[in-house]
Amino acid sequence: MTASDASKIDVQHLCKLAGLSRASYYRRFEVRAPREADLELTSHIQVLSLRFRFYGYRRITAELGRSGIVVNIKRVQRLMREDNLTAMRRKPFAPPTSDSRHGFLIVPNLLRGLVPSRPDQIWVADITYVRLRDAFAYLAIILDGFSRKVVGWALERFPIRLTIS
């Protein structure tokens, strides 16, 4: 193309060469203002997000539906993302491992702070179960606190047969 040809070329011809519609060319330069409906919906979403801090876009959409505002879940997700509204995470439920508030005698730990200096000063015991293909087995282990070596162990299938000697 020469400089004299450039004055003859219009937008419609260039869009036809590029395979675009003329409207999409002009839409590219258009400054978009948020729609009033989006602004109103965003204010509702902000109010619900402050009231229900742990709600994400799914629950916010359900709350909007209960209040009579029918809206697509994707639209709520987009508006919340644009407004940087995120749901707070709840702390996962962890059941208490033991009940420390009981009326039983609490025996002090006599080994707290004791560092073994030779073998056979402290023995530590534990019991656990091992799942087998068709049953369970219990494993009891006694460890030396100094060397961390196994002093003794026993493996029994369920039910455990107790032998008192």
User: Is 6 part of a structural domain of the chain?
Assistant: no
Least Cα distance to 41 among 27, 19, 60 occurs for 60
Q: Is 60 exposed, middle or buried (0-12, 13-18, 19+ CB in 10 A)?
A: buried
23 and 75, same domain (yes or no): yes
Pairwise CA distance, residues 52 & 62, whole Å: 12
Among residues 33, 56, 82, which one ends one of the domains?
82
Instruction: Give the tens place of pLDDT for each residue, 127-165.
Output: 998 888 777 889 999 999 999 999 999 998 876 555 554
77 and 16, same domain (yes or no): yes
User: Is 117 part of a structural domain of the chain?
Assistant: no
What beta strand segments (E) does the chain contain?
A: 123-131, 136-144, 150-157
20 and 78, same domain (yes or no): yes
Instruction: Give the tens place of pLDDT for each residue, 107-121.
Output: 888 888 888 999 999
* Count of the separate structural domains present in the chain: 2
Pairwise CA distance, residues 152 & 84, whole Å: 59
pTM: 0.42
Its domain, for residue 44, covers 11-82
